[in-house]
Structure 1
Amino acid sequence: MATATLPRLAETYQKELRPALSKSLDIKNPHQLPRLEKIVVSMGVGSAISDKKNIEDALSALGEITGQKPLTCRARKSVANFKLRQGMPIGAKVTLRGARMYEFLDRLISLVLPRVRDFRGLSDKAFDGNGNYSLGLSEVLVFPELNPDKYTRSQGMNIAICFSGHSDEKSRELLKAFGFPFHRPDVEA
């Protein structure tokens, strides 16, 4: 029986970041420390109303990026002005947990964000008040897994990183410890 290896970022969290966070946040109980719970990657495909191929492309791209089968999101209401009917597919999402979550975050920090054009760092104000962080990418082709010849239409995505800490400050400290590239106004490019 093969033993499962821990992703690099998960191992770093267990061995180095938890003790450091415990000391910096002055928290003795390890269960009160912030930790990653899940990452939700989603795509809204409004153009799927007129062209069904767009939702299939989005599902395929999301599957290649995350390594997991995406869930199709359907419209809850009918809206006549948008020619939208209840039940029509208009988006896709994937919820990552465990090893896949840490591997995705590692690839996001080390490979994807440096490939974003004119990248000057992420906002440190994109927390929701409960310690969860959200960011959006305007182009999915920054992921090296995707073939630009196959995905010719420009498509964006949203990434929501959910924490257990319920505090923006604790979650911000954990993301900084992971090496998240937050925008620093004192450094000009």
Structure 2
Amino acid sequence: MARLKEKYYSEIMSAVMESEGIKNKMACPKLEKIVINMGVGKAIENKKRLESAVQDLGLITGQKPVVTKARKSIAGFKLREDVGIGCKATLRGNMMYEFLDRLITVIIPRIRDFRGFSKTAFDQGGSYTLGLQEQSFFPEIDLDKLDFYQGMNITFVIKNSNKKISLELLKLFGFPFKREEKKN
């Protein structure tokens, strides 16, 4: 069993239920899935960039990503319908908890001048989205073979939640958020 999954069921679930006054375990907020998305805008001009992004995302997640395609044509961007413009992977179960563990313990400490993630990136349903500027933070990526740097969005979908409860849940997982500075 993944380390964070075991921690969720043994410690985090009871702490959240106690702090929020939840009596039923099924009503307790839970991390449902993690969606990693790479939008490759330059793929219109160079198909190799999309192939490289798919390969990198496959190495990062450990599963084959899905190529996302344009829904409609936009002449100003030289974009045609059904042309690949990005890729995404959805992680669930043990792979999700393993990725979250690697993100918190390995990848985030590698980010230079990191001061914490914003506490305001929650949507109405309690899901949290963050962005990374490049894929080179991940140890799976060989920097010598890297053709280009590509950013990515990572979305944590949390079930039975709102902004406040999601923030508390991610803090208990060990997620680093910015500290609030006291104003004089």
TM-score range, shorter chain: over 0.9
2:133 equivalent to 1:138:
yes
Residue type of the partner of 2:143? P
Q: 1:89-168 to 2 correspondence within 5 Å?
A: 89-168=84-163
Matching residue of 2:174: 179
Pairwise CA RMSD of aligned residues? 1.0
Q: Which of 67, 73, 89 does residue 72 from structure 1 map onto?
A: 67
Match of 1:149, SS state, is helix
Please list every run of 5 or more consecutive structure 1 residues that lacks an aligned counterpart in the other structure: 1-5
Q: Which of 40, 59, 62 does residue 57 from structure 2 map onto?
A: 62
Identity, in percent, stands at 53
Whole-angstrom distance in 2 between the partners of 1:154 and 1:19: 41
- Equivalent residues of 2:52, 2:147 under 8 A apart: no
Shift of 1:11: 0.4
TM-score after normalising by structure 2: 0.96
Shift of 1:185: 2.8
Whole-angstrom distance in 2 between the partners of 1:31 and 1:173: 18
Matching residue of 2:9: 14
Shift of 1:18: 1.0
Moved over 4 A (4+): none
Shift of 1:186: 2.9
Please list every run of 5 or more consecutive structure 2 residues that lacks an aligned counterpart in the other structure: none
Whole-angstrom distance in 1 between the partners of 2:125 and 2:102: 25
Shift of 1:56: 0.4
Whole-angstrom distance in 2 between the partners of 1:166 and 1:183: 21
Whole-angstrom distance in 1 between the partners of 2:30 and 2:99: 15
User: Deviation digits for residues 13-71 of structure 1, max 9, x if unmatched?
Assistant: 01111111111111111111110100000000010000010000000000000001000
Aligned residues: 182
Shift of 1:157: 0.2
TM-score after normalising by structure 1: 0.94
